[in-house]
Chains A and B, each alone.
Chain A
């Protein structure tokens, strides 16, 4: 007779899927059947666990054993050893990168231990394509409570009390925003979920949409009830096909159960959710451009006022929030604002999901309470800098944000502390940089992004970011001029004051921030024509050290005959002729050529 005693949870988030988790899942099903365990062991597909560095991830319950980097070839062994005999497959367990300590249990891994997973609670532990699992963990009770036990005013008050602030980057108090939309008098209102997630490297929203889509639906419905809207849109970037699929399945299942649609919980409240796919424009993450896009127009922002709460989608009062913001709402309703207020700092309540990327050992998603320090995130959760390199800076807030240098690592992370130091929370993308990163190059990278994503409407952004980019490019190519830094600062200041929307207003931030903390790097580029980190190709200085044995191979290889020297004697590179192609360095058998 069937009694399921073990669940094998296989991460089916986009990251693990591209690493082959689907094949691993099929292998498990095959092996389990072959071992006669099909009546005892269930294979479950889940959403993203967040520990993407180590995927494909497999977690076996009831033990909670965490297997990482599982390949198809490993599956038979796991079934044979763990599922049949109860013996863990040690080589596949997670090992702490700094100490190599082996940690079998999911809940003991530092990456997870230090997190406070409220938004990501179910990501990785339920099957997102089964509404029953969401209900089993308490799903839709927030909506039920709101509709049957609270008035719209009470719902708004609860959200206000919780101190929840917009997680998309703006940090605007969510309850207050809902209050504005509620106040507007109109026969039609809309709720919009901004799932455009355009920041390069950010995937927090994606994981929630893929791993726990119902949470968003529930949050939006609660919002609709609070403000008086009966229709909602989720604007998802088209580059997230899996998230779109999971959302569609979730909406269908919720409608079939009467949790969306007409007369939910017999309360007279109707709510319908549509999905609108983006079309590849970063600027459509800006709320007015997003609404223009839903309306079928070119995604260009418009001036505010009027604000969306007064006149938004098709001129109707609209409340727009980010995915993560909506994900917090059901928890607040179920557990109460007072419960929520225990997390975070005084002005920034709750948790924040960060995407840890860059030169860090544990790349992935981490949800931490506001007020945690950057040091804890990078070292305790992130496992420190990889390849034994030294930390240099962490970029926070993506193309709109700034960098934090080492001296700010103990800054408690919340909205206000970050803006006070010239950075911003942004959507939560963190890019960790080490000593081999050139900060001028980083500024150039982000400005290149914002310039190509600029919608072109307003002069300061369309033309201004282009000219700033040209200056930065010159600097990184050894063509920097005296006065360039002052010009960049002057332009940055004016562009921030005059650009029409957030994209243009924040585009200069990476430049200003890197100038603030790494001005010396800019000056080295301009005055000495040198890139201290050795990154800017056109300024690399190749030098032959005394390791040189005088074999002459480099001189023969050099395409412009810039190297001279006698046999068996140290050779020398003529910097005036050198075109910095690096061929000499790649052929030297004695590693005698350095680049710097």
Chain B
């Protein structure tokens, strides 16, 4: 690998020949502020905040795109550079609302942080024209506020480069340039899957998750309602980041304790219904294998992914597993099985879920998701919203005791917890399918072949006597490529797991920000840690699941299961 040596602020730095000045500086621990730069997106050099002085250049250069060269001398903090940076921020602030104190992203906003760091005290352009205050709150999942947009373009790049959906683009010119959808329509009118990756990368509050905490507070305050909550696997390995706890720590017990103190009547676990999903989906897979059903079968627990296939590949819908997602299965069971056992009228149950996902907000309001007789899930809160609720409640999170989930929807196996990572659903399914197909309690629990972070992975596994080829993809861009293969008949797999978000749900649109590859890896490893710590690691071993089926539900794929836990899909037409 070719290396070069350069000097940054008097410090000698050795770096790869292909590095940018910003990369070299960061590797050497030298801080340069940025806004439009994102390590996982293409470099635009647009915001001009990261400018530095570099020998040989005619003017200041944007360090995020400027290539290093042997012997280059870089200064990142001269008066000239600081003055230029401050003007950039001053210009952004001049065209930005001043309601930081009451903004949803206050204390979590990159522009706010940088303005404070750089010490911008005066905005000399008061009284000038400001951006139009257009809000798009058309859909259940995301809210866009043009007033807060600083035109960094990260959302455009994330939607295009990571997700391949190209929902956003710049439109207009000059001062009136905006980030827009086709014909400035609301997200619900364009091919947006609500995956929330745009919200994940937005440095300000221009794109945020829709805040449903008010609804949750109202339900909790309503004495006549029995409010139950389920928590997704990905939440417990990321919630701590919202509350001052280091990345990668598992905070399950404290999370349960917090939810109880906030006032939820029952704190249940989505991991339970993840096990349930494996029961249904695993048997569905076996059924297709033995009875000539449509193959490859594709998982359906990621609503961003389901939106994508309904929008873009409706002809491939028969491939989707008819099993609902764990969130929705939980809701259906909560308002029937649980309601009966607890003697509560289902109409008084408010079913809340804590999810790493913004698309789940839209999934919950899908009209067909009411097989319990009521909307199966009433309120979806993202990890970020739960963090806000805990702060509002004034809880000292790290001082909370470890508590356990409630029965009968609280027990789970290791298979359930790994749902949050790419490959996790596949591995969980294999653990059950292998035992069912062979009729044995196989020793093999882990299927490391389907683990990893590459966006497309494949494995050929031996299940009993048969060789089963499977594939795992994550990000919608990789999903698209895979669907093209399926269309052409080139996907020689029996089973494909698709997750819309990078890394799977742990990288979901509702998770704490910022996020990068290291943070995702830490969250993922925490999930596997949980898995390894579980006593039971195969979904069909879950005693609460066994009880559910034997006392109430019947058989997997049976009539009751079919009615409550399976769904139909349709082509989505947005306008």
Asked whether A and B interact, the reply is: yes
Residues of A within 8 A of B (CB): 281, 283, 298, 300, 302-303, 305, 451-460, 462-467, 470, 487, 491, 494-500, 505
- Nearest neighbor of A304 in chain B, beta-carbon distance: B65
| B206 → chain A closest CB, angstroms | 15
CA distance A487 to B151 in the complex (A): 25
Expressed in whole angstroms, the Cα–Cα distance for A454 and B91 within the complex equals: 15
Nearest CB in chain B: distance from A486 CB, A: 11
Across the interface, B94 reaches (CB within 8 A) one of A298, A463, A465, A487, namely A463
Residue contact A456 to B170, C-beta cutoff 8 Å: yes
In contact, A463 and B59 (Cβ under 8 angstroms): no
CB distance from B270 to the nearest CB of A (A): 42
Closest 5 CB pairs of A and B: A456-B177, A463-B91, A303-B45, A303-B65, A466-B175
Would you call B80 and A497 a contact (CB within 8 A)?
A: yes
CB–CB B128/A494 < 8 A: no
A99–B170 CA distance with the chains assembled, in angstroms: 56
User: Contact mask B46-89 → A, CB, 8 Å, 1/0?
Assistant: 11110100000001101001110000000000001001100110
B243 is an interface residue with CB less than 8 A from chain A: no
- Report whether B128 and A466 are in contact in the complex, using a CB–CB cutoff of 8 Å: yes
Assess whether A455 is in contact with B47, with CB atoms less than 8 Å apart.
no
Q: How many whole Å from A166's CB to the nearest CB in chain B?
A: 16
A298 pairs with B128, CB closer than 8 A: no
A500 in contact with B129 (CB, 8 Å)? no
B92: chain A residues within 8 A (beta carbon)? 459, 463
Residues of B close to A281: CB separation below 8 A: 173
Flag whether B44 is at the interface (Cβ < 8 A): yes
CB contacts (< 8 Å) of A499 on chain B: these are 48
B48 touches A305 (CB 8 A): no
Q: Are A453 and B48 in contact (CB under 8 A)?
A: no
Pairwise interchain contact B173-A453, C-beta atoms closer than 8 A: yes
Q: Is B230 an interface residue (CB 8 A)?
A: no
Q: Are B124 and A454 in contact (CB under 8 A)?
A: no
- Which of B43, B49, B65, B151 interacts with A462 by CB under 8 Å? B151
Cα(A229)–Cα(B197), bound, Å: 42
Q: How far is the CA of A456 from the CA of B156 in the complex (A)?
A: 14
Closest to B60 in A: A497
Looking at the assembled complex, report how far the CB atom of A153 sits from the nearest CB atom of chain B, in whole angstroms.
Answer: 27
B94 touches A467 (CB 8 A): yes
CB nearest to B45 among chain A residues: A303
- CB-CB under 8 A from A452, the residues of chain B are 173-174
- Cβ of B285 to closest chain A Cβ, rounded Å: 43
A452 to B128, CA, bound (A): 16
Q: Do A456 and B173 have beta carbons less than 8 Å apart? A: yes
Pair A462/B88 contact, Cβ less than 8 Å = no
> Residue of A at shortest CB range from B86?
A494
Number of interface residues of B (CB under 8 A): 38
Q: Provide the residues of chain A in CB contact with B125, threshold 8 Å.
A: 467, 470
CB nearest to B43 among chain A residues: A303
Chain B nearest CB: distance from A155 CB in Å? 30
Most buried by B among A452, A454, A456, A500: A456
Name the residue among A300, A305, A467, A491 with the largest chain B CB count within 10 angstroms: A467
B343 at the interface (CB under 8 A from A): no
B369 CB to closest chain A CB, in angstroms? Answer: 39
| 14 A-B contacts (beta carbon < 8 Å) | A281-B173, A455-B177, A456-B172, A456-B174, A457-B170, A458-B45, A459-B92, A460-B87, A460-B88, A462-B175, A464-B91, A470-B129, A491-B87, A498-B87
Chain A at the B interface: SS class: helix
A283, A451, A491, A498: most-surrounded residue (chain B CB, <10 A): A498
A451 contacts B175, C-beta separation under 8 Å: yes
- Partner of B170 from the list A300, A302, A460 (CB cut-off 8 Å) is A300
Q: Is the CB of A463 within 8 A of B177?
A: no
Cβ A498 vs Cβ B174 within 8 A: no
6 extra interchain contacts, Cβ-Cβ under 8 A, other than A456-B175, A456-B177, A457-B153? A303-B65, A455-B170, A455-B177, A494-B83, A498-B87, A505-B59
Q: Verify B47–A459 contact, CB threshold 8 A.
A: yes
Query: In the complex the two chains form, what is the Cα distance from A593 to B309 in whole Å?
Result: 76
Residue B325 at the chain A interface, CB threshold 8 Å: no
Asked whether, in the complex, the Cβ of B174 is within 8 Å of the Cβ of A451, the reply is yes
Complex Cα–Cα for A305 and B67 (A): 8
Q: Is the CB of A457 within 8 A of B80?
A: no
Q: Find out whether the CB atom of B170 lies under 8 angstroms from the CB atom of A463.
A: no
Are B95 and A463 in contact, with the CB atoms below 8 A? yes
- In whole angstroms, what is the CA distance A453 to B176 when docked? 11
Q: Which residues of A lie under 8 Å from residue B67 when comparing CB positions?
A: 305
Which A residues are in CB contact (< 8 Å) with B404?
Answer: none
B173–A498 CB distance below 8 A: no
A495 to B175, CA, bound (A): 15
B169: CB under 8 A from chain A? yes
Min CB distance A501 to B, Å, is 10
A500–B59 contact, CB under 8 A?
no
B49 partner residues in chain A, CB cutoff 8 A: 459
Report Cα–Cα, A298/B91, bound state, in Å.
Answer: 24
* Residues on the A chain within 8 Å of B124, using CB: 487
Q: Which of B43, B48, B129 contacts A458 (CB 8 A)?
A: B48
- Cα(A498)–Cα(B173), bound, Å: 19
Query: What is the chain A residue whose CB lies nearest that of B177?
Result: A456
Question: With A and B bound together, what is the CA distance between A465 and B177 in angstroms?
Answer: 13
Residues in chain B near residue A300, CB distance under 8 A:
170
Which residues on B sit within 8 Å (CB–CB) of A298?
169-170
Q: Which of B48, B60, B67, B151 counts the most chain A CB atoms within 10 A?
A: B48
Complex formed: what's the CA distance from A502 to B251 in Å? 52
Across-interface contacts of A487 in B (CB, < 8 A): 124
Flag if B48 contacts A498 (CB, 8 Å). yes
Assembled-state Cα–Cα distance A55/B125 (Å): 48
A498 near B175 with CB under 8 A, answer no
Known A454-B173, A470-B128, A505-B59; contact A459-B44, beta-carbon cutoff 8 A:
no
